[in-house]
A and B are shown apart, each in its own frame.
Chain A
Amino acid sequence: MTVRVQTADFDAGREIAELRGSDPRVGAVASFIGTVRDVNDAATVATMTLEHYPGMTEKALTGIIADARARFDILDALVVHRVGELRPADQIVLVVVTSAHRGDAFDACRFIMDYLKTRAPFWKKEVTSEGARWVDARVSDDDAAARWQTQTGNET
């Protein structure tokens, strides 16, 4: 399991290769990359600054991956999240999951992103044509995370 918070960009190909290594049990690799859009809520985004809560961020991400491992049959997972100043089209976040089969890889990758959006202490501040503003959380993000909770109802 790997969790990193960094200002530097990442190379998804290299990260995926490292996570897979030469593990012959891996039959599926799912990945997600989040990037900066140039328009948000009808305003043009010039730059975006991402800040986090050092100390808690790494614990929150590690906890989310641990939850994913408990729910899905996965072999390994990685989250890289950037902080600092970013521009439209820049990469923000990378999630990679390896498993024996695609179902668990897809599900775990989505689960990790949905929980990251609602549980990991990151905040975006945009500089737009309308001025600087903190990005509002979206109700749809809460809904996406809640979807996984209703799906656990018949476990245990």
Chain B
Amino acid sequence: MPDNSPLSVTAVTVRVVYLARLREAFGRSGESLAIAADAPDVAAVLATLRARDGVWARELAAGRAVRIAVNHQLVAADSPVREGDEVALLPPVTGG
């Protein structure tokens, strides 16, 4: 079991944005969220939200089709997040 000293953990605060169905499910359009992780990334943001249980865990369960955009660019789960980033959770898009 590695000893994670507090110095090795980076805490960043990001702006999370919920869109369309997710905004309605969560009852809010966004929030400021602190992420504590060795290497803060998109997966850590999702894990932080899933830990709230209830609708958060259901909507963000593995296998649910939620795509992530960081600063308006679609990214993969292992993409890093930095202080002040805008992290948007997008249900499957249905335009056109």
Contacts and interface: CB of A to CB of B under 8 A. Distances in A.
A52 B95 contact: yes
A92 B96 contact: yes
Nearest to B20: A123
A123 B74 contact: no
A123 B91 contact: yes
Contacts, number: 71
A56 interface: yes
Interface residues of B, number: 17
Given A81-B95, A135-B94, A123 B19 contact: yes
A125 interface: yes
Contacts of B91: 123, 134, 137
Contact of B93 (A34, A92, A93, A121): A121
B52 interface: no
B95 A122 contact: yes
Interface string A114-149: 001111111111000000001111000000000000
Nearest to B23: A51
11 contacts: A59-B72, A81-B96, A93-B96, A117-B96, A119-B74, A121-B19, A122-B96, A124-B94, A134-B21, A136-B92, A136-B94
